[in-house]
Amino acid sequence: MNIAVFSTKSYDQEYFEKYNTEYDYNFSFYETALNADTAKLSADCNVVCVFVNDVVNEETIKILSSNGIQLIALRCAGYNNVDLEAAEKAAIKVVRVPAYSPEAVAEHALALILTLNRKTHKAYNRVREGNFSLKNLIGFNLNNKTIGVIGTGKIGTTFCKLLKGFGCKIIAYDIAENEELVAEGVEFFPLEEVFGQSDIISLHCPLNKHTKHIVNEDSIAKMKDGVMIVNTSRGALIKTEDAIEGLKNRKIGYLGIDVYEQEENLFFEDLSEHIIQDDMILRLLSFPNVLITSHQAYFTKEAMDQITTITLKNIKSFETDSELENEVK
């Protein structure tokens, strides 16, 4: 089985080579992202393995199909970057990793909340410069605050359980109530009520036509003054220009994002010696109450183990014509 792995970083190659001893697959690792211009690299392969910012649209899929690709193996949970209808027409199967260490992402969301609130990143830099002043470092107790959770799948559920330990009131929205969380005291409300009641809002829903720009001018207007918004899911859940306006008029008091609408041109790369052309992220970086990490919420040893092993098992199931448990249709 010949596999072309796109958007490869050193750690991706390390983990695939570590676990490939059980499979003996032939990997071709490419640092470049998959798109219509790079799809030709998949020639002589049976499978392409892609990540969150690869562009697997209809044009790309046509080229993959002409190259004989039979399987698109996502090494992530989200599949919004894949044209599923085009894949089906081309008779190309699509598989994903539906769950990998939900604790990793949930814990990172909590880290963003604590860092934004208690300003530990600023305190660290101050002390290193010999500045031991506490001026402007004041935070607030999480205890008794209302946390609104949008999306209560495995990550959202884990996040709720973490925040319960802080003595927070947890309210949530999802298309279906999570009975496990209801039993633990989480209250489900309509989306507008969650926006209106929450001191902190954390996004844990997938990106689709219903959730794109779920945080926008109208929804921000319904939120409490000084609300904290945290997004560790997908960048386009937040309409960036509306969030910037919310920060400017102080409606949004804190913003923590591990994902960004236009991240495919930025994240996972070292741009420290380049002039960044994205004006919106530069504007976000100018706010003292904004914290941005570059899609690292998933990035733990445990998660990388699971991502790699499940991806390889998905490919093996396809190779042996077994049931594709993680197929996306």
Q: What are the residue numbers of the active site?
A: 234, 263, 295
Retrieve residue 60's tokens: 């790309």
CA angle 188, 190, 194 (to 5 degrees): 75
Contact yes or no for 5/12 (Cβ under 8 A): yes
Give the whole-angstrom CA distance, residue 303 versus residue 106. 12
Give the whole-angstrom CA distance, residue 312 versus residue 143. 42
Query: Nearest CA to 311 among 152, 75, 65, 12?
Result: 75
Retrieve residue 311's tokens: 């991806």
* Bridging pattern class, strands 146-150 and 200-203: parallel
Q: Is 75 exposed, middle or buried (0-12, 13-18, 19+ CB in 10 A)?
A: buried
**Full strand arrangement of the beta sheet holding 47-50:** 26-29, 2-5, 47-50, 71-74, 93-95
**Residue keyed to tokens 């260490």:** 101
- Beta pairing partners, 167: none
Q: Which residues contact 228 (CB under 8 A, 6 or more apart)?
A: 113, 116, 117, 199, 200, 201, 252, 253, 254, 255, 256
Alpha helices in the chain (DSSP H): 10-19, 58-66, 84-89, 102-118, 120-128, 154-164, 179-183, 191-197, 217-222, 240-248, 279-285, 301-319
Give the whole-angstrom CA distance, residue 239 versus residue 208. 14
Sign of the torsion angle spanned by Cα atoms 128, 133, 134, 136: negative
